[in-house]
Structure 1
Amino acid sequence: MASSKPAFFFSATQSVDDRLGAAFTFIWANYAGLREFWWQVRGFKQQFPELHIKEVEKKFLSGLPIPGGIDFKKAFLNSDWAAHEQEFSKWLIFECCTLYEGWAEKVCHDLFSKSKRDSHAKSLQFPFVDAANPGYKSVITDANSQVSTFMQQELLPTLKASKLNCWDQMDAHLTAYSYFKKCRNSIIHSDGLCTQSILDLQVKIALEQSKKPSPFKNNFSLPVQVLNQKITFDLRDCILFGTIARKLICTLDAALSVASKSEVVMENRLRNLSSKKDKWKSLPSDPLRYEQRIHRMLSAAKIPEPQNLVNFIGWMKGKKLI
């Protein structure tokens, strides 16, 4: 398998997976920088308690262009590190929820008619409950009402073999996602106060991870929440939530890849590629170089490795892509 080929099918999945990694790198860089800055400012003020806060600010910010103001008292002297960790936890939750929601909207745009896109994007964020509340299963059922045998045979085995695939534990993982999403929504709409639905979801997660074995690779610590009181987060839980979001996206990517519309998406991706550069239209006659060119074409179009390249080439010829 060519190492440059992606592990996911949909362009949205490939993009969000990269963006999640970039987001975490940026967040941890900020975490490390703020932690060091927080320690230095507090240490300096302890050594020179007589200095006015403006003099402390000048000591650390002199010559450094800052696009906005910093309240040194609030950020460094009056806030303990636990308070900052709560803010980093919120940042992680917001980032992961936003990326997952954006992914669901983009994939639903690729697969469904305009009348279904919004409702299906929402359904992909909820576990299966019953026939009245089927959540993600209703979307997969709709997408796969017409299945591509070619996609099933050639791409699905590669996609579902990912270590991130959690198909057998989808409901547990989406329950965890729903919990953090509810917390995010409370921060936005209810001043971060705990609601009964948040408490109910926390109980469901606790029940899930009490199973032997647990559906989660690492269990959540789940700090005790109190109804109508501020929600508290464990930073490690929020890191685990990032993994949950990534696993859900990976799993649904594979489940939706076998739809007939997904085959059309792949065909269009390859057709757009060949229309941009002449080198994809003229293939070498040498068999080895011919296969190498096809591999490079798949890599350029970000198509996962097929199970049988000969079969894939036959499909491409049938679609007049080569």
Structure 2
Amino acid sequence: MVGFSFPETNIATSEITRLFDFVWPTAIALWNLRWQVDGFLNAVPNATYEDVASRFVVGSDIHGADIRAMHTNTTWIDQKARFSEFILTNAFAIYESWARSMIASSNISTMSDRNLYQEGDGVSSGLSVFISQVNASPSSVMTASFKPQFLKHKKVFIPQQGNMLKCYKYFKELRNCHIHNGGKADQRLLDSYNNFHLVSSPSAMHTKERIEYYPVTLGEKTELSLRGVVGFCDIILRLMITIDAQISGSKAAEVSILSQVKKCNSPVRLTLNSDKNRAIGQINKLCRNANLPKPLMTEMVSKLFIDNGLVSR
């Protein structure tokens, strides 16, 4: 599978996938457990804690789980909201860790990771400034051979970048209210809601349907939509991949792909075949092993690899 110009993006997108590989089976299992427990307690209404545990918990190596409480104290809607909180917390951790790593890999010491999820003033701060600063040190090889390929990724949405940041800001403030404000809406959430609401249509976000979210009233309890949170996680993927593609023609991206090629191929330096077509095949294979797209200018890439000691003639 073709990856991205920075390994940080490969890791972060995989982490989002792993998050849902855990969440979906867990949510489905909980849904099935609910009706099984309901059926058991309806048939045996006087069942004790021990009765329920012996039926549903024994063998799991989990202790102290009161399955009966799920039957009486918690609705499926409540539990979907809890899943939404769990997903949001992990998704933001993944994105912000990725942002810190991208700042480090790009060698832009004057900027913080916040610039990768804020519009800023567009002059000295914000995502567009970060992208411009990274691209101020271009790589002719990356620009000609790889960047056009990365820009063709189906999740690259450059025109929607500003709208995606507004979406990010809204869900971030929504998450913050659930963690720090008892779930009640504060002014920051209301402001971010109003900004996102203006650009949340499918056409503005380039989505098949509107990301689901609920109206916000200052000081009132907020609601989380599991469907909306899932849609937001796709926006996070789009943001990371869109940013990665835009800086894939930079010197920082060149350093990154050289590291990926070196790591993913034999430690024994490859000698290129004297036959031109076979040598091209060798270069393409080196890139494929590193999850890079097929280079458009193989001779330029070949020279880059030779100059950096990855291959020899």
Would you say same fold, with TM above 0.5?
A: yes
1:54 paired to 2:50: yes
Shift of 1:309: 1.9
Shift of 1:294: 2.0
- Aligned residue runs from structure 1 range 10-89, under 5 A: 10-62=6-58, 64-89=59-84
Which of 112, 120, 124 does residue 120 from structure 1 map onto? 112
1:92 paired to 2:82: no
Shift of 1:69: 2.6
**Equivalent residue, structure 1, for 2:285:** 296
**Equivalent residue, structure 2, for 1:262:** 253
Match of 1:183, SS state, is helix
- For the 8 Å contact 1:194–1:227, the answer to whether it is kept is yes
The CA distance in 1 between the partners of 2:19 and 2:235, in whole Å, is 15
Listed as ranges, the gaps of 5+ residues in structure 1 are: none
- For the 8 Å contact 2:37–2:68, the answer to whether it is kept is no
The CA distance in 2 between the partners of 1:171 and 1:310, in whole Å, is 37
- For the 8 Å contact 2:122–2:128, the answer to whether it is kept is no
The CA distance in 2 between the partners of 1:45 and 1:193, in whole Å, is 35
The CA distance in 2 between the partners of 1:84 and 1:229, in whole Å, is 20
Match of 2:32, SS state, is helix
Shift of 1:102: 1.1
1:236 paired to 2:227: yes
| Residues 157-204 of structure 1: per-residue CA shift (max 9 Å, x gap) | 111111101110101001101111122223333333221111111122
The CA distance in 2 between the partners of 1:232 and 1:277, in whole Å, is 53
Alpha-carbon distance change, 307 to 120 in structure 1, aligned in 2, over 3 angstroms: farther
CA RMSD of aligned residues (A): 2.2
- What is the aligned residue count? 310
Aligned residues with identical type, % of pairs? 23
| Residues 238-259 of structure 1: per-residue CA shift (max 9 Å, x gap) | 0101100000000000112222
Shift of 1:68: 4.2
- Aligned residue runs from structure 1 range 178-257, under 5 A: 178-210=169-201, 213-217=203-207, 218-257=209-248
Listed as ranges, the gaps of 5+ residues in structure 2 are: none
Alpha-carbon distance change, 239 to 69 in structure 1, aligned in 2, over 3 angstroms: same
The CA distance in 2 between the partners of 1:233 and 1:216, in whole Å, is 22
The CA distance in 1 between the partners of 2:122 and 2:287, in whole Å, is 40
Shift of 1:233: 0.8
Match of 2:153, SS state, is coil
Alpha-carbon distance change, 19 to 273 in structure 1, aligned in 2, over 3 angstroms: closer
- For the 8 Å contact 1:7–1:304, the answer to whether it is kept is yes
